[in-house]
A and B are shown apart, each in its own frame.
Chain A
Amino acid sequence: MAGAARPGPGVEELSLLEKLLGLPNGNKYGVQGERKVPVLQTNNGPGLTGLMTIAAHLVKQAKKDQLLGSTAEEKAVVQQWLEYRVTRVNGSCSKEDTRIILKDLNVHLEDKVYLAGNVFTLADILMYYGLHHVMVPCVSSHAGRPHSARKGEIP
């Protein structure tokens, strides 16, 4: 199941996240299936599967639970955008898809600082990683989608 072949993009992202969270570099990852879903290998049991799941696990491991939201509402909103990230942003390849995603995000961010409102969360981090490659040209020129471009402010 969890072959430890070439690390997928999800794995690189999780390593970056580990660094950001200040976690020691000790976790082992594999990938699974054609979509190269990341798998976190643990000492007991089958490990954890999926980018969202592992990312949330790392956040809790680093005791930065506030990154998952504090209220029920924030938590659900974070969950929602993480899901958006793994279903829409991961699956997108065409220019048209990217355009729709940026449009969606722009509408959502019109009256917000971060995806979950006024607090910075894991959703922002993973969305940033996921969109980095398409956002770089936008952020530098500040053209097009002003509210999405704001994400360039993330430290």
Chain B
Amino acid sequence: MTSSRRCPVAAMRLRLAPGGPAALKVLAAAGAAAAPVRLEWSCPSELSPPWVPALELESGTVLFSPNAICQFFFLSRGEEPTDLSNQWLEWEVTELEPAASAALYARLVQGRKGLEAVEVLGKLLAHIEQNLARRGTGYLAGDTKSVADVVVWGTLFPVLQDETSLPSELPALKTWFQSMTLSEACRKAADSVLIPRALQEFTSYLQKQPPPCLPVQRTTSNEPEEEEGSERALTEEEITAAASAWARGAAALPKPWQPQKPVLPVEGMRNILITSALPYVNNVPHLGNIIGCVLSADTFARYCRLRNWNTLYVCGTDEYGTATETKALEEGMTPQEICNKYHAIHADIYRWFDISFDYFGRTTTPHQTRIAQDIFKRLLARGFLLEDTVEQLCCESCQRFLADRFVEGTCPFCSYREARGDQCDKCGKLINAVELKSPQCKLCRSVPVVKATRHLFLDLPKLEEQLEPWLEQSLATGDWTPNARYITRSWIRDGLKPRCITRDLKWGTPVPLDGFQDKVFYVWFDAPIGYLSITANYTQHWERWWKNPQQVELYNFMAKDNVPFHSVVFPCSLLGAEDNYTLVNHLIATEYLNYEDGKFSKSRGVGVFGDMAKDTGIPADIWRFYLLYLRPEGQDSAFSWSDLMLKNNSELLNNLGNFINRAGMFVCKFFGGTVPSMVLTLDDKRLLARVTLELRQYHQLLEKVRIRDALRCVLSISRHGNQYIQVNEPWKRIKGDEKDRQRAGTVTGVAVNMAALLAVMVQPYMPSVSSAIQGQLHIPPDCFVLSHDFTCTLPPGHHVGTVSPLFQKLENDQVEALRRRFGGGQAKQNSPASGSPPAPATQVTPGDPQLIQLLTEEVAKQGNHVRQLKANKAEKAQVDAEVAKLLELKKQLALAEGKSPEIPVPKGKSKK
């Protein structure tokens, strides 16, 4: 090899997806070949083109194939491929990798046992064994470690993890695998991809991928493939157990726990303290904010209460900081007035969404000052604070030091042009505002100057030795979402630095220290203390929650951008204060929710914001359902109007609502409103066992706060119910002989009891729907509790009330109108011909938006009216008259929107 062929030694940029299985071999190859790379972790969604991993060469060429990247590293130091190494690479990419992915998927996502997962690889492992044994060199190709060894190892490692999972008849493979795993490059790669400590990163990556298909290995089955896992065969024991649990009836249920107010921890009970990230007061939250914290936390809190866990859920508005000061200037009010105004808006929105806070407080209270200053003083006394002079950006035209969020500029790391002063949205790195290139004041767009000012810092490096053992314990025993684990680990891995806790502002908690009287605490020191002070405003015994880690389990809910402050910074404050504080046990972080194809944007008027949701005419529970259905658990998700309509009409109306309504209607129509007697057959008992399985799965998922997945179990039960009714046809059998009528009674009785179970299971998701079912079926309040068994809570003889439909159909025009109103998705269709300057909105959408809104609501109202009439079997003439009105309204709406209605009209009528 001539040296001129070698690659220059400047570091190449290597982008990897966190948890992407290919990361391992690429890192190991870089290490083994001593290739100079600059590693960047980024999610596939942020990359363009979306190839991951990606190695950027000096020439600008980007390699996206993991094996080619590995090959390149070895080529760069002069190791040419041979026929044999080529053959291994080709075999790896065509045979081994697909099988290994399938095995990994089976184990991590579908929960198959380790050995079963490895079995898929049987033949392939034997192939490696044979070749190693025949060659006898200990390596796959050649006499030393080559690219082939690294690539094959990198694919096997996530599946096998260590050589003990290999069967003993593969001795050569075992030895090879062990020596590879022990080599420095591989070990380091494994450490930085975070295995075997937890394969959760892989899991979350794989969950985003479609399941791999292996046509060759797929076992044939005559049974139609149902939704994953749920259709496994039931055992005799399960069926017997389900039948006897059913027979025990409501008496078997625990009595619902009614805590005294205020809720305080109770000795011997599971005491759960739930917080959701405090929303900034000066903004109206959008749907993404709502699902990210308050709604997720609410669903979980409701679930906990149904489990008889002693639960306190607190939240409040985060009111201090520059943002509020600025907003106050804008609106010509004092900061306090701004806070009062927006606090009320927030509280209204959450009330509308039926969020069950035990207390919704705020941070601008005397308790906040007292507790924050106390923690500060304790940190100071224990030497965990540092003083330093810092250079800060100061805007001379605004005459103020600029808070980080009020500076924008070019990211010093990735050159993204719109990086904020605290963090770059593109590469996610934390930034010191003064390091921004070409900074600008976000308010007046002038160029700020750097000025020196004294500040206090939380000495995170000094606190790290307390943080680490706690964190290790919390991660090992708690339910942290994979993104929370990943973000926290990478923060620690990048090294902790002292973090400034003071700011040159007026609107904040004053710093109680000589020389700092004109400063306040930085919101990130101050805001999480809000959880404590808000609880203190709820009860004087707040310390029984917050200084009681022995009895209390703390759940923090947030979007992923808040993770480091809850997992590192705030715990450091509390640990350093040495006052036996309750620290987070379970950190639940969501990914982001997008709107249609883009982001929510207040300034562009794109997206649905909390205060507008109620104006859509769609009930809060439907919003809750849909947001929870697409909760960004594990990956970003997107709100879509047409999907909302689809899910409402298919899952709620046709599946869940239809089942509960039919079950109730049969009791009313065929049995005079009284639950009939039941004689269970084996098929019925099988159904009970099937429902029990779903119920247990629901518990398992919700205990791990997998809210979205648990919702699938609820819908799965009603699907089973619909099928049960469909197969048994009680409406036919009721007209038959004695035996048929008894069968109709049994099916109706079982179905209505499933409906009663569903009423409880949907309560965390749709509280109003739940109480509507409770009202219709007269479910006793004592049955509103969740156990692990499905029991008969509405026994024969129980009287149900009036049954009516729970959900209403969403019509296409109605949803289209909403989409137009809130922007996004279809915007392009509405915009004028390309090339012409953007026209004012009024010209783009013909007609008056208020008229459109009015008509939309009228159409929805009339539509419901018609359906109600039909449901109540009203006279045909009356129905027809109302339908005619509905059609007329729809026509008017279409005209107002500038669309041509279904009846052709002269073209001139449309302004477009």
Contact = CB atoms under 8 A, between A and B. Distances in A.
Contacts of A34: 216
B86 to A, nearest CB: 4
A56 B63 contact: no
A103 to B, nearest CB: 10
A52 B90 contact: yes
Interface residues of B, number: 27
B7 A79 contact: no
B72 interface: yes
B257 interface: no
Given A77-B61, A83-B93, A72 B216 contact: no
A50 interface: yes
A29 to B, nearest CB: 15
Nearest to B59: A73
Contacts of B67: 79-80, 83
B68 A73 contact: no
B732 interface: no
Contacts of B90: 49-53, 83, 86
Given A80-B63, A80-B64, A75 B75 contact: yes
A56 B68 CA distance: 15
A98 B76 CA distance: 34
A34 B249 CA distance: 57
Contact of A107 (B49, B69, B76): B49
Interface string B52-64: 0000010101011
B94 A86 contact: yes
A71 B61 CA distance: 13
Q: Which of A35, A49, A72 neighbours the largest number of chain B CB atoms within 10 Å of its CB?
A: A72
Interface in A32-78: 34-35, 37, 48-53, 56-57, 70-73, 75-77
A87 interface: yes
B906 to A, nearest CB: 39
A117 B64 CA distance: 15
Which of B90, B91, B216 has the most A CB atoms < 10 Å from its CB?
Answer: B90
B72 A72 contact: yes
B143 interface: no
Contacts of A50: 86-87, 90-91, 94
B636 to A, nearest CB: 22
Interface string B637-670: 0000000000000000000000000000000000
B72 A83 contact: no
A48 B68 contact: no
Contact of A75 (B49, B71, B94): B71
A83 B65 contact: yes
Contact of B68 (A49, A80, A117): A80
A84 interface: yes
A57 B87 CA distance: 10
A50 B90 CA distance: 7
Contact of A76 (B5, B71, B83, B216): B71
B617 to A, nearest CB: 38
A34 B49 CA distance: 33
A1 B81 CA distance: 25
A48 B63 contact: no
Given A80-B68, A86-B94, A72 B7 contact: yes
A37 B95 CA distance: 11
A72 B65 contact: no
A50 B72 CA distance: 20
A91 B7 CA distance: 33
Contacts of A86: 90, 93-94
A53 B86 contact: yes
A139 B822 CA distance: 44
Contacts of B72: 72-73, 75-76
B87 A49 contact: yes
B63 A76 contact: yes
B146 to A, nearest CB: 14
A87 B61 CA distance: 21
A86 B90 CA distance: 8
A61 B57 CA distance: 30
Interface residues of A, number: 26
A92 B7 CA distance: 35
Chain B CB count within 10 A is highest, among A80, A87, A107, for A80
B400 interface: no
A70 B2 CA distance: 12
B86 A56 contact: yes
B870 interface: no
B6 interface: yes
A79 B5 CA distance: 17
A31 to B, nearest CB: 14
Interface in A1-26: none
B93 A73 contact: no
B87 A53 contact: yes
A77 B67 CA distance: 11
A85 to B, nearest CB: 11
Interface string B70-98: 01100110000101001101110110000
A151 B372 CA distance: 69
Nearest to A104: B49
> Which of B64, B68, B89 lies at the interface centre, i.e. has the most chain A CB atoms within 10 A of its CB?
B68
A53 B94 CA distance: 12
Interface in B1-39: 5-7
Contacts of A35: 94
A151 to B, nearest CB: 19
B7 A57 contact: no
A49 B6 CA distance: 29
Contact of A52 (B57, B59, B86): B86
A87 B94 contact: yes
A50 B166 CA distance: 27
A57 B83 contact: yes
Nearest to B78: A72
Nearest to A72: B75
A72 B147 CA distance: 14
B71 A79 contact: yes
Contacts of B89: 52, 79, 83
Contacts of A83: 65, 67-68, 89-90, 93
A73 B86 contact: no
Contacts of B91: 49-50
Given A53-B86, A53-B87, A107-B49, A73 B65 contact: no
Contacts of B64: 80
A79 B86 CA distance: 9
Nearest to A76: B72
A28 B59 CA distance: 41
Interface string B473-488: 0000000000000000
Interface string A78-109: 01100110110000000000000000000100
A48 B87 contact: yes
A7 B87 CA distance: 20
B83 A79 contact: no
Contacts of B65: 79-80, 83-84
A88 to B, nearest CB: 10
A70 B7 CA distance: 12
A49 B93 CA distance: 13
B83 A73 contact: no
A86 B93 CA distance: 9
Contacts of B59: 73
A70 B1 CA distance: 12
A86 B75 CA distance: 21
Point out which of A35, A49, A50, A117 has the most chain B C-beta atoms below 10 A from its C-beta.
Answer: A50
**Most chain B C-beta atoms within 10 Å of own C-beta, residue among A57, A73, A84:** A73
A101 B216 CA distance: 24
Contacts of B69: 76
Lowest 6 CB-CB distances: which A-B pairs, in order? Answer: A80-B68, A76-B72, A72-B75, A50-B90, A80-B65, A53-B87
8 contacts: A56-B83, A72-B6, A72-B72, A76-B68, A79-B65, A79-B67, A79-B89, A107-B49
Given A84-B65, A87-B94, 14 more contacts: A49-B90, A53-B86, A56-B83, A56-B86, A73-B72, A76-B68, A76-B69, A76-B71, A76-B72, A77-B61, A77-B63, A79-B71, A79-B89, A80-B63
